[in-house]
A and B are shown apart, each in its own frame.
Chain A
Amino acid sequence: MSDLPLLSIRDLHKRYGTTEVLRGISLDVARGETVAVLGASGSGKSTMLRCVNHLERPDSGSISLGGELVGFTTTRRGPRMLTETEIARQRSRTGMVFQNFNLFPHWTVLRNVTEGPVRVRGLDRSEARELGLRLLATVGLEERASSYPKHLSGGQQQRVSIARALAMDPELLLFDEPTSALDPANVGEVTSVMKRLADGGSTMIVVTHEIGFARAAATRVVVIADGLVVEDGPTQQVLDAPRSPVTQTFLENTLYGARTTGANER
């Protein structure tokens, strides 16, 4: 059982109109792995991530999480789409952190974190409050519990949204370019929280442009280009000795950009 990958993506296809965004992606993620997904803008990496928790419905192929098909179920008459309510139950097994944070602006920081546990996991208010404060403490924001999101910096908002995702006690954490909307000065506080999660054994897929973060925290790096996986291997091997020419060009461009802007990760 434990030999089975937690997440298994098989031959995933997705098109918007005439544009083929995913052209047959296959990827396995084992428990405890931190997979950094790199690739140019428009390569399909975010779409792939959004298929994992079924925010997007793929056209063909399959995704299974812990042996359970995501968004579909198999019946004697073949696969059938799940209802939104059934999908909601599946989504509670994963947590997602968005590029634009997407915190709920009409709720306090604490309520942003506790509402999922209360409404979806069925915790009572006081349990959820305790959990929320503990998670806010782990991202270093417990003193902002009663603030509203708009009074927080981008980095703080993103840390709250990590706490919100963690509050669902997810088996898999999905990060969709978590630092792309941040001031360079705020990137470090978010990546260091993510690094701690990775070191703590969380299973994570991180779509990112931060090569530095990938080097420091990822166990594996996957490179996607034009809707296909072009490279997949241990972090050091992919970053230091890439086999695919696409990866080589991508790394050269990105590293050059990183050096000129001075945004370097330790």
Chain B
Amino acid sequence: MKTADADAAPTTDQSKPASRTDIADARRAPQPWTWVTALLAGVLLAQLGTMMVRNPNFEWDVVARHLFDTRILHGLLVTCYLTVLAMAIGVIFGGVLAAFRITANPVLRAFAAGYIWVFRGTPQLVQLIFWFNIALLMPKIGIGIPFGPVFWEADANAVITPFFAAVVGLGLHEAAYQAEIYRAGLLAVDEGQTDAARSIGMKPMTIFVKIRLPQAMRFIVPPTFSQIIGMTKATSLVSVIGGAELLFSAQEIFSDTFQTIPLLIVACIWYLVLTTVLNFFQYFIEAYYAKGATRAVPTNAGTWIARRVSRLRSRGPERTEANPQ
């Protein structure tokens, strides 16, 4: 073992024979199919690219001209409002429904189950049209005591604008889905948590708010974000009842100019912008709630950008060990 040379020529000589077995320098396993598929994808992509440039029916100049058209931007704004308001109704009312489903009160449980059955079991589009036409069912809408005096009353046709019908219709439909998301999240929390909370004398409401809900958030937030993305796209259904959102604005323009394809492309670009921004936020929120979990956050354009942004930030001067908190 101990020779005179050992001191003089230390690491290099010893590491050379070792490199045959040390896996640190190992090459990757050959992956020929990656190259084959890359080649195929390249050809297809090139073909698609040429088609998009060469085919005059795309009318890219029209796309460019209408991308920032005030009518389109107004529609975009309405789409954002609709998404936010309908999601707010869905998240809040869905939470109430989920709480109803797990109470000991059988009346509330039955109400929530029945609600979810109806609102999840019928198409969103049908519900939207239904709310828009509610005046046919109830010409007058009022607030008062059931079977008693009425304090305020209005003509249903005046109250139910397309925007109002859209928010209510999309929101109530969403609430049914959110209720199920909450329920699944609550079920995913270990029952031992409830046992422990009970064993120290916590009341049911405290256990729900302080123990179960905070731990269920990990399971609730990611699917809720998917729902927001879904909602952004679902607002396009509102065009059917004449709500002036993004798709409706595009339709309004192309019904005059017959430039159908370029205006649909304009709408798609904006939908993609919105959903990409949402994906971007989803990355951070999932990373926050996945603390301690080893599950990777999936990649798409939004998360790709987000990952790079978070890497840039961590390269800043105050680089510290990740806070275990």
Query: Which residues of A are at the interface with B, using a C-beta cutoff of 8 A?
Result: 53, 55, 84-85, 88-92, 94-96, 98, 100, 102-106, 115-116, 119-120, 148, 150-151, 161, 164-165, 167-168, 174
Q: List 26 A-B contacts (CB under 8 A).
A: A53-B199, A55-B198, A55-B199, A84-B204, A88-B201, A88-B203, A89-B201, A90-B201, A94-B199, A95-B199, A96-B196, A102-B192, A103-B196, A104-B193, A106-B214, A106-B215, A115-B210, A116-B200, A116-B201, A119-B202, A119-B210, A120-B200, A164-B196, A165-B200, A167-B200, A168-B201
Select one of A55, A84, A106, A116 contacting B195, CB under 8 A: A55
Kindly list chain B residues whose C-beta atoms are within 8 Å of the C-beta of A120: 200-202
Cβ of B279 to closest chain A Cβ, rounded Å: 26
Select one of B195, B198, B210, B325 contacting A88, CB under 8 A: B198
B324 close to A (CB within 8 Å): yes
Cβ of A167 to closest chain B Cβ, rounded Å: 8
A102–B211 CA distance with the chains assembled, in angstroms? 11
Majority-rule SS of B interface residues: helix
B292 lies within 8 A of A150 (CB): yes
Kindly list chain A residues whose C-beta atoms are within 8 Å of the C-beta of B214: 106
Please report which residues of chain B, range 204-245, place their CB below 8 angstroms from some CB of chain A when the two chains form the complex.
Answer: 204, 206, 210-211, 214-215
Known: A84-B104, A104-B211, A151-B324. A98 touches B196 (CB 8 A): yes
Cβ of A197 to closest chain B Cβ, rounded Å: 17
A120–B292 CA distance with the chains assembled, in angstroms? 30
A85–B198 CA distance with the chains assembled, in angstroms? 10
A96–B199 CA distance with the chains assembled, in angstroms? 6
Kindly list chain B residues whose C-beta atoms are within 8 Å of the C-beta of A95: 199-200
A103–B195 CA distance with the chains assembled, in angstroms? 10
Kindly list chain B residues whose C-beta atoms are within 8 Å of the C-beta of A105: 215
Contacts between the two chains (Cβ within 8 Å), count? 71
Report the nearest B residue to A104, measured CB to CB. B211
Cβ of A165 to closest chain B Cβ, rounded Å: 7
B190 close to A (CB within 8 Å): yes
Q: Return the CB mask of B283-322 against A: 1 if under 8 Å, else 0.
A: 0000000001000000000000000000000000000000
A148 lies within 8 A of B199 (CB): no
Please report which residues of chain B, range 230-285, place their CB below 8 angstroms from some CB of chain A when the two chains form the complex.
Answer: none
Cβ of A48 to closest chain B Cβ, rounded Å: 15
Kindly list chain A residues whose C-beta atoms are within 8 Å of the C-beta of B202: 88, 116, 119-120
Kindly list chain A residues whose C-beta atoms are within 8 Å of the C-beta of B193: 102, 104
B192 lies within 8 A of A92 (CB): no
A165–B197 CA distance with the chains assembled, in angstroms? 11
